[in-house]
Amino acid sequence: MDPANRNIALASAFVEELGRCGVSRAVLSPGSRSTPLALALWREPEIEVTVVIDERSAGFFALGAAQASGSPVAALCTSGTAAANLHPAVCEADESGISLIVLTADRPPELRGVGAGQTIDQLKLYGAAARWFCEVGNHDADDIGLLHYRSVACRAYAIARGEPRPGPVHLNLPWREPLGDAPAPGEVTASSPLALEGRDGRPLTAVTTMAAAPGGFVLSELAGHLENAQRPLIIAGRQPDPALAAPLARLAQAAGAPILAEPTSQLRFGSHERSGVIAAYDPIARAAPAQLEPDLIFRFGEMPTSKALRGWVASLEGAPQLVIDATGGWNEPTRRAAAMVRADPVELAGALADRLGPADAHWAAAWTRAAQAATEAIDAKLASQELSEPAVHRALGAAYRDGDLVYTASSMPIRDQEAFAAGSPADVRFLANRGANGIDGLISSGIGAALASERPTWILTGDLGLFHDLNALGLLTQIRASVRLVVFDNAGGGIFEALPQATEIAREEFEALFGTPSGLDVQRAAALWGLAHRRLVAPEEIGGLAEGPQVIAVPADRARDTALRAAIAADAAEAVSRAVGG
């Protein structure tokens, strides 16, 4: 604790506790009112600080770092609309269950609502999106004040980490002037060693995590369901833990169940047993063959993005769905789940695998045949095509190497990745902002994840995603991270081409309201920050790209690629029907 003056003492005691709890990374945007906390974070040896000028970018940078590391990250800003610019990242952190500690500096109460500059109502600014809000208050640096600040830091860390569901917490910290670290003898009046020093390297209040190990009754019930099922199916959607892959693959083999694995499930790629992993499930869901209808569905993680799969699963009223979710979420858009199982997915999958098997392989083999037929149809269609978004995603899937991290934008990139990245034995981690599903801040999130994970990182976005987060390119010039930014440059919102509006509305109106070409020149955007730029000519060039900060533009035609996706889907669904005799 720095005893220079009252503000500095309170701020440094608070930050000291964050570091002792386990916060190792903070992101701050410059501003005057946040000076006490900015100095405390900058000087805390346990916390690495990144300065990001744009608050919206800073919020998403912190979110990406927290998602990649699995640990709470602090984000600090000054008072006023700076705090409002963190709101989009707070919304995503809430929906995705990502640990953020949002610190908004504020004017003291006597300067609110009286016309003082840079002042808005920051109390509960993020509403229900924050797991916990605390107006930390104006305190003297006495025993009560210092212990209060230390205690708030411990509580904020525990709630952000998950009680039980991780998410953002919001602490509003008002500061009276002076804001710097000029010595003010006599302002620190605390005398208690606990208030002044805390617990000598340990948090003031350590909080244990909630136990989510599956009990014997739960395991027996679930094992019984799997043993009685003739056609069990495992669906693996977005979840961040790579440790789930191996035990879930074992469970699938023991139960004789295919795994429909979205890339963001961390199961489609990796060194675990992948013989039961199905990547080409979208055309199977489109064909909806009766021969492949399950009589039991186990779901780990969120529901995959595929609209066809969501619709098909929702139609299977005779197949009970059991959703495994340890953190208290309610990610169940089909409204058909028979049970929400609150147990650690890794422990549950491993324990169930130990209780089951061996299973009949015929059911899983039928799924594998259908998936192989769909895969061959996709490959055949893309082999005769020139550069396209689907072809580049196919090439990206083959180009990923051990240790890579892929951060994918919502809209078309996440859908094309799901449909066309076939999978491989490479250790690849897939992340995305799929809670609120926005494209804003995506590049900042990917750069934050690259820095926190220290992995070579691919960021996949469209040109509108780049337009929304153009300031983030500046981050690539100030941090040391190997980031390849792939921009699908289709002159606007490609996903809208697949909506009914594309054919129901006059083209001129559609372009103005939905296509919305930005006019952004990707090469000039890269040059603005002195970044290397490359414009692809053929999909196979992806495999030869070197590591290092660079921007790769993929020229694309929205209407042509929409037609290509429809043709691929039709051919693959027809191949599935032939493979299963439908």
**Could you write out the three-class secondary structure of 128-164?**
HHCCEEEECCCCCECHHHHHHHHHHHHHHHHHHHCCC
> Which of 551, 378, 392 minimizes the C-alpha distance to 463?
551
Return d(Cα 203, Cα 46) in angstroms, integer: 13
Query: Which residue type occupies 200?
Result: D
The owner of tokens 């790579």 is 242
Token pair of 426 as six digits: 């490479």
Whether the Cβ atoms of residue 232 and residue 259 lie closer than 8 Å to each other = no
Superfamily, domain 6-197: Thiamin diphosphate (ThDP)-binding fold, Pyr/PP domains (3.40.50.970)
Return d(Cα 392, Cα 410) in angstroms, integer: 17
Whether the Cβ atoms of residue 475 and residue 446 lie closer than 8 Å to each other = no
Whether the Cβ atoms of residue 214 and residue 238 lie closer than 8 Å to each other = no
Phi/psi of residue 503, nearest 5 degrees = -110, -15
pLDDT of residue 517: 87
Return d(Cα 206, Cα 204) in angstroms, integer: 7
Neighbours of 132 (CB within 10 A): 16
Contacts of 227 (CB under 8 A, 6+ apart): 356
Residue 76's DSSP bridge partners are: 28, 103
What's the DSSP call for residue 263? G
Neighbours of 473 (CB within 10 A): 23
Return d(Cα 174, Cα 454) in angstroms, integer: 35
pLDDT of residue 581: 83
Provide the residue-wise pLDDT of the chain in tens; the chain has 582 residues. Answer: 999 999 999 999 999 999 999 999 999 999 999 999 999 999 999 999 999 999 999 999 999 999 999 999 999 999 999 999 999 999 999 999 999 999 999 999 999 999 998 999 999 999 999 999 999 999 999 999 999 999 999 999 999 999 999 999 999 999 999 999 999 999 999 999 999 999 988 999 999 988 788 989 999 999 999 999 999 999 999 999 999 999 999 999 999 999 999 999 999 999 999 999 999 999 999 999 999 999 999 999 999 999 999 999 999 988 999 999 988 889 888 888 999 999 999 999 999 999 998 888 899 999 999 999 999 999 999 997 689 999 999 999 999 999 999 999 999 999 999 999 999 999 999 999 999 999 999 999 999 999 999 999 999 999 999 999 999 999 998 888 899 999 999 988 888 888 888 888 898 888 888 888 888 999 999 999 999 999 999 999 999 998 889 999 999 999 999 999 999 999 999 999 999 985
Neighbours of 506 (CB within 10 A): 8
pLDDT of residue 206: 95
Whether the Cβ atoms of residue 53 and residue 76 lie closer than 8 Å to each other = no
Q: Where in the chain is the domain with CATH 3.40.50.1220?
A: 216-372
> What DSSP string runs through 55-67?
HHHHHHHHHHHHH
Phi/psi of residue 395, nearest 5 degrees = -70, -40
Q: Where in the chain is the domain with CATH 3.40.50.970?
A: 6-197, 389-555
pLDDT of residue 28: 98
Neighbour-count burial of 377, counting CB atoms closer than 10 A to its CB (0-12 exposed, 13-18 middle, 19+ buried) = buried
Q: What sign for the dihedral angle of Cα 305, 162, 171, 49?
A: negative
How many residues can be counted in the chain? Answer: 582
CATH number of 216-372: 3.40.50.1220
pLDDT of residue 359: 87
Whether the Cβ atoms of residue 145 and residue 190 lie closer than 8 Å to each other = yes
> What DSSP string runs through 397-458?
HHH--TT-EEEE-TTHHHHHHHHH----SS--EEEE--SS---TTHHHHHHHHHHHH---EE
CATH number of 389-555: 3.40.50.970
pLDDT of residue 582: 59
Rounded to whole angstroms, the maximal C-alpha distance in the chain is 86
Query: What is the arrangement of strands in the sheet containing 429-432, beginning at the earlier edge strand?
Result: 429-432, 405-408, 457-462, 483-489, 550-555, 532-535
Whether the Cβ atoms of residue 171 and residue 26 lie closer than 8 Å to each other = no
Distance between the two ends of the chain, CA-based, in angstroms? 72
Return d(Cα 247, Cα 353) in angstroms, integer: 7
Q: Is 287 helix (H, G, I), strand (E, B) or coil?
A: helix
Strands 232-236 and 168-174: unpaired
